[in-house]
Amino acid sequence: MKHFDVVVVGGGHAGCEALHAACRYGLNAALVTLDKNKVGVMSCNPAIGGLGKGHLVREIDALDGVMGTAADLSGIQFRLLNRSKGPAVQGPRTQSDRQLYLQAIQALLAQQDYTLIEGEAAALMSNAGSVTGVRLADGSEVHARSVILTAGTFMRGTIHIGDKRVSAGRMGEKAADELSLQMESLGAVFGRLKTGTPPRLNGDTIDWSQLELQPADCDPVMLSFLSKGPAVQQVSCGITHTNSHTHDIIRQNIGKSAMYGGHIEGVGPRYCPSIEDKITRFADKSSHQVFLEPEGLTTNCVYPNGISTSLPDDVQEAYVRSIQGLENVEIQQPGYAIEYDFLNPQGLSSDLESNLMGGLFLAGQINGTTGYEEAAAQGLVAAIGVAKRLKGVCPITFDRSTSYIGVMIDDLTTRGATEPYRMFTSRAEFRLKLRADNADQRLTEQGHTSGLVSGQRYGVYQEKVKRLDQCRSLLSSMSVSPNQARQVGIDLGLDGRRRNGHELLSIPGVTIANLADLTPRLVEFDTESLDQVAREALYVTYIERQGRDIEALARDLSVKIPNGFHYAGVAGLSSEMIAKLSAARPASLGAAKNIEGVTPAALTAVLVSIKSQSLKNTG
Amino acid sequence: MDSIFAQATATGRAGVSVIRLSGAQAFDIARIFCNLPQVGLTGLRAVRGRDGALIDQALVLCFEQGASFTGERVVEFQVHGGLATVAKLLSELSEQEGCRLAEPGEFTRRALENGQLDLNQVEALSDLIDAETESQRQQAIRVLDGRFGDAGEMWRGKLLRAAALLEASIDFSDEEIPDDLSVEVISLVEETRASIAAILERSMMASKIRTGFTVAIIGAPNVGKSTLFNAIVGRQAAITSDVAGTTRDVIECRVDLQGLAVSFLDTAGLRESEDEIENLGISRAYEMAAAADVRVFLVEEVGEPLPIALRDEDIVRLNKGDERSSDVGTVSGKNGEGVSELLSLIAERLMVKTPQDVVAIRERQITGLRAAESFLGRVLELIQADPLPFELASQELYFALSELDFVFGRIDIESVLDEIFSSFCLGK
Maximum mean pLDDT: which of A510-524, A545-559, B75-89: A510-524
Where do runs of H (alpha helix) occur along A253-308?
A: 275-281
Binned at pLDDT 50, 70 and 90, residue A530 comes out as very high
Max mean pLDDT among A130-144, A492-506, B10-24 falls in A130-144
Residues B201 and B221 in one domain: no
Q: What is the rounded average pLDDT for all residues in chain A?
A: 91
User: Which residues lie closer than 8 Å to B31 by C-beta, 6 or more apart?
Assistant: none
Q: Which residue, A416, A450, A484, sits at the end of a domain?
A: A450
CATH code where residue A575 lies? 1.10.150.570
Judged against a pLDDT cut of 50, whether residue B39 lies above it is answered with yes
Does A149 have pLDDT greater than 50? Answer: yes
Residues B344 and B220 reside in one and the same domain = yes
Q: How far is A274 from chain B (nearest CA, A)?
A: 8
Convert the pLDDT of each residue in A199-225 to its tens digit: 999 999 999 999 999 999 999 999 999
Does residue A476 share a domain with residue A445?
no
**Cross-strand bridge partners of residue A303:** A293
- Is the domain of B14 the same as that of B89? yes
Q: Locate the chain B residue with the closest alpha carbon to A81.
A: B174
Beta strands A301-305 and A331-333 are unpaired
Which chain B residue shows the shortest CA-CA distance from A79? B174
Asked whether residue B374 carries a pLDDT value surpassing 90, the answer given is yes
Give a yes or no: residue B138 inside a domain: no
How high is the pLDDT of residue B12?
Answer: 56
Q: Is B191 found in the same domain as B75?
A: no
- The pLDDT value recorded for residue B95 is 85
CA angle A308-A310-A314, nearest 5°?
100
Mark whether A64 and A99 lie in a shared domain: yes
Q: For A410-445, what is each residue's pLDDT tens digit?
A: 889 877 888 899 999 999 988 999 999 999 999 999
CA distance A186 to A256: 38
Average pLDDT on A329-347 reads 94
Q: Is residue A244 part of a domain?
A: no
Q: Does residue A357 fall inside a structural domain?
A: yes
**Domain boundaries, position A118:** 2-196+339-450
| Runs of H (alpha helix) within A63-169 | 67-74, 98-110
Write the pLDDT tens digit of every residue in A340-366: 999 999 889 999 999 999 999 999 999
Structural domain includes residue A224? no
For B131, the 3-state DSSP assignment is coil
**Is the model's pLDDT at A618 over the cut of 50?**
no
**Shared-domain flag, residues B234 and B254:** yes
pLDDT score for B220: 81
- Highest mean pLDDT among A169-173, A324-328, B71-75, B102-106 belongs to A324-328
**Ranges B52-61, B81-90, B106-115, B374-383: which has the least confidence:** B106-115
Q: Is residue A518 a part of any domain in this protein?
A: yes
% pLDDT > 90, chain B? 17
* pLDDT band at residue A299 using 50, 70 and 90 as cut-offs: very high
The burial of B77, by beta-carbon neighbours within 10 Å (0-12 exposed, 13-18 middle, 19 or more buried), is given as buried
- What is the rounded end-to-end Cα distance, in angstroms, of chain A? 75
Confidence (pLDDT) at A143: 97
Residues A421 and A545 in one domain: no
User: The domain spanning residue B184 has which CATH number?
Assistant: 1.20.120.430
Q: Verify that B44 and B69 share a domain, yes or no.
A: yes
Q: Are A295 and A97 in contact (CB under 8 A)?
A: yes
**Average confidence (pLDDT) over A240-266:** 90
The last residue of one of the domains, among B113, B129, B155, is B113
Summarize pLDDT for B226-284 with one digit per residue, the tens: 888 888 877 555 555 555 555 556 677 777 777 677 888 887 666 666 677 777 777 77
- The percentage of chain A sitting over the pLDDT mark of 70, rounded to a whole number, equals 95
Question: Which among B109, B391, B402 is the nearest to A431, CB-wise?
Answer: B391
At A619 the pLDDT is 38
Q: What does the pLDDT read at residue B222?
A: 79
pLDDT higher at B322 or A103:
A103
B222/B339 same-domain check: yes
The reply to whether residue B395 touches residue A432, judged by beta carbons under 8 angstroms, is yes
CATH of the domain at A477: 1.10.10.1800
Average pLDDT, chain B: 78
pLDDT of amino acid A400: 84
Query: Are A431 and B392 within 8 A, CB to CB?
Result: no
ipTM of the complex: 0.83
Q: What is the pLDDT of residue A462?
A: 97
Q: What is the mean pLDDT of residues B306-318?
A: 85
Long-range contacts, B77-80 (Cβ 8 Å, 24+): B77/B18, B77/B19, B77/B21, B77/B30, B77/B47, B78/B16, B78/B17, B78/B18, B79/B16, B79/B17, B79/B18, B79/B19, B79/B47, B79/B55, B80/B15, B80/B16, B80/B17, B80/B56
pLDDT of residue B199: 82
Total domain count, chain A? 3
The least confident of A536-545, A584-593, B267-276 is B267-276
Cα B411 to chain centroid distance, Å, stands at 26
What CATH number has the domain bearing residue B14? 3.30.1360.120
In this prediction, residues B390-405 reach a mean pLDDT of 88
The CATH number of whichever domain residue A389 belongs to comes to 3.50.50.60
Mean pLDDT for the stretch of residues A296-307: 95
Same-domain pairing of A353 and A397: yes
The predicted structure's pLDDT at residue B236: 52
Last residue of a domain, one of A500, A519, A554: A554
pLDDT score recorded for residue A257: 92
Q: Say whether both A549 and A467 belong to one domain.
A: yes
Angle between helical axes of A455-477 and A527-557 (0-180°, round to 10):
90
In a domain, A290, yes or no: no
pLDDT at A577: 76
Same domain, yes or no, for B388 and B306?
no
Residue B333 clears pLDDT 80, i.e. is over it: no
Residue A311 forms part of a structural domain: no
- State which residue of chain A sits closest to B173, comparing Cα positions: A82
Domain-embedded: residue B125: no
A499 DSSP assignment: B
Query: Does residue B419 fall inside a structural domain?
Result: yes
Listed residues B64, B87, B113: the one ending a domain: B113
Q: Which of B18-22, B116-120, B157-161 is predicted with the least confidence, judged by mean pLDDT?
A: B116-120
Q: State residue A91 phi and psi, 5-degree precision.
A: -130, 120
B170 touches chain A (CB under 8 A): yes
State whether A86 and A172 are in the same domain. Answer: yes
Residues B302 and B415 in one domain: no
pLDDT at B388: 86
Q: What angle do CA A238, A241, A246 make, to 5 degrees?
A: 135
Distance from C-alpha of A42 to C-alpha of A102, rounded to nearest angstrom: 7
B1 interface with A at CB cutoff 8 Å: yes
Least confident of A85-89, A214-218, A595-599, B171-175: A595-599
CATH number at residue B243: 3.40.50.300
Q: Is residue B379 part of a domain?
A: yes
* Number of structural domains found in chain B: 3
pLDDT tens column, B183-234: 999 999 999 999 998 888 777 766 666 667 889 888 888 788 888 888 887 7
| Per-residue pLDDT at B405 exceeds 80 | no
Domain that holds residue B87: 3-113
* Secondary element (H or E) of residue A605: helix A600-618
* B425–A269 CB contact, under 8 Å: no
Residue B130 lies in a domain: no
The beta-carbon neighbor of B427 closest among A273, A426, A432 is: A273
- Residue B126 within any structural domain of the chain: no
3-class state of residue A572 by DSSP: coil
Binary contact (B119, A572; C-beta < 8 A): yes
Residue B52 or A322, more confident: A322
Q: Which of A104-113, A496-505, B270-279 has the lowest mean pLDDT?
A: B270-279
Among residues B94, B113, B132, the one where a domain terminates is B113
Q: Is residue A285 part of a domain?
A: no
Q: A123 and A110: one domain?
A: yes
Residues in chain B closer than 8 A to A45 (CB atoms): 428
Query: Regarding beta strands B16-22 and B213-219, do their DSSP bridges make them parallel or antiparallel, or are they unpaired?
Result: unpaired
- Give the whole-angstrom CA distance, residue A516 versus residue A520: 5
Lowest mean pLDDT across B128-142, B226-240, B374-388: B128-142
The answer to whether residues B347 and B375 belong to one domain is no
Same-domain status, B103 and B164: no
Q: Is residue B118 part of a domain?
A: no
Bridge partners of residue B218, in order along the sequence: B297
Q: Which residue has the higher pLDDT, A38 or A507?
A: A38
Residues sharing a CB contact under 8 Å with residue A56, sequence separation 6 or more, in sequence order: A373, A374, A376, A377, A404, A405, A408, A423
More confident call, B423 vs B27: B27
Instruction: Tell me, yes or no, whether B365 and B328 share the same domain.
Output: no
Query: Distance, in angstroms, between B427 CA and closest chain A CA?
Result: 4
Boundary-marking domain end, from A433, A450, A467 = A450
pLDDT for the residue A275: 93
Residue B413: which pLDDT band, with cuts at 50, 70 and 90?
Answer: low
**CB-based contact (8 Å) between B108 and chain A?**
yes
Kindly give, in sequence order, each residue whose CB lies less than 8 Å from that of residue A226, ignoring residues fewer than 6 positions away. A61, A69, A457, A460
Same domain, A441 and A573: no
Q: DSSP for A349-373?
A: -TT-BBSSSBTEEE-SGGGTB-SHH
Q: Do A289 and B173 touch (CB under 8 A)?
A: no
For residue A76, what is the enclosing H or E element? strand A75-81
- CB of B312 less than 8 A from some CB of A: no
The more confidently predicted of residues B287 and A122 is A122
Residues A392 and A480 in one domain: no
The yes-or-no verdict on residue B409 having pLDDT over 60 is no
Q: Does any domain span residue A27?
A: yes
User: Is the pLDDT higher at A549 or at A540?
Assistant: A540
Asked whether the beta carbons of residue B410 and residue A86 sit closer than 8 angstroms, the reply is: no
Residue B24 contacts A where some CB pair is shorter than 8 Å: no
Q: How confident is the model at residue B357 (pLDDT cuts 50, 70, 90)?
A: low
Instruction: Quote the pLDDT of residue B34.
Output: 92
Determine how β-strand A2-9 pairs with β-strand A29-33.
parallel
Q: Would you say residue B119 lies in a domain?
A: no
pLDDT for res A466: 96
Residue B104 pLDDT exceeds 70: no
Residues of A in contact with B410 (CB under 8 A): 600-601
Asked if the model's pLDDT at residue A98 lies above 80, the reply is yes
pLDDT band of B63, cuts 50, 70, 90: very high
Q: Kindly state whether residues A503 and A433 are assigned to the same domain.
A: no
Are A403 and A482 part of one and the same domain? no
A373 and A501 part of one domain: no
